């Protein structure tokens, strides 16, 4: 069962993509996390990212993350105030692959969000993938880095 608003492709400007990767390198060897905001193209399922929010992983763990609730709420309210949407949550897997873990799947509390997972197994070559997680079903979606 698919939500008709489900995003089929997420587009991230290279500058925001680089800021996200830089943030995750700084938090290494712990998992880093944050939110991406922007807008969904009218009449399509393409999301355009325009904002990045670095959010503290208050678990400070190499194998788990939980966004600091106050920072997460502030980011979502900021996006709403600007007329933008919360499009994606991102986090790193410092020693794992860029696929959702069992914990990621169990804790996918916002099914409308895209989940970006960044593998830092090879720190100089991060692997970034995007997924929808809905009712424990995982579906990979297209990720485009734009100039």
Look up residue 30 and give its two tokens: 């712990």
pLDDT at position 43 is 87
pLDDT at position 5 is 65
Question: For residue 107, what is the domain's CATH number?
Answer: 3.40.140.10
* Domain range enclosing 32: 9-146
pLDDT at position 4 is 46
**Residues 21-48: tens digit of each pLDDT:** 999 999 999 999 999 999 998 888 999 9
| Number of independent structural domains in the chain | 1
List, by residue number, the catalytic residues: 31
Is 73 inside any structural domain? yes
Is 134 inside any structural domain? yes
**Residues 105-129: tens digit of each pLDDT:** 999 988 899 999 999 999 999 999 9
CA proximity to 76, closest of 112, 45, 119, 103: 112
């Amino acid at each position: 069962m698919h939500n008709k608003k489900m995003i089929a492709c997420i587009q991230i400007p290279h500058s925001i993509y680089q800021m996200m990767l830089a943030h995750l390198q700084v938090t290494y060897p712990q998992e880093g996390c944050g939110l991406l905001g922007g807008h969904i193209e009218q009449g399509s399922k393409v999301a355009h990212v325009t904002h990045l929010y670095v959010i503290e992983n208050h678990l400070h763990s190499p194998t788990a993350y939980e966004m600091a609730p106050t920072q997460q709420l502030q980011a979502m309210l900021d996006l709403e105030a600007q007329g933008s949407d919360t499009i994606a949550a991102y986090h790193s897997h410092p020693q794992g692959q860029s696929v959702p873990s069992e914990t990621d799947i169990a804790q996918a509390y916002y099914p409308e969000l895209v989940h970006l997972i960044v593998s830092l197994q090879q720190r100089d070559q991060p692997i970034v993938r995007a997924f929808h997680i809905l009712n424990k079903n995982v579906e990979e979606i297209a990720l485009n880095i734009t100039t």
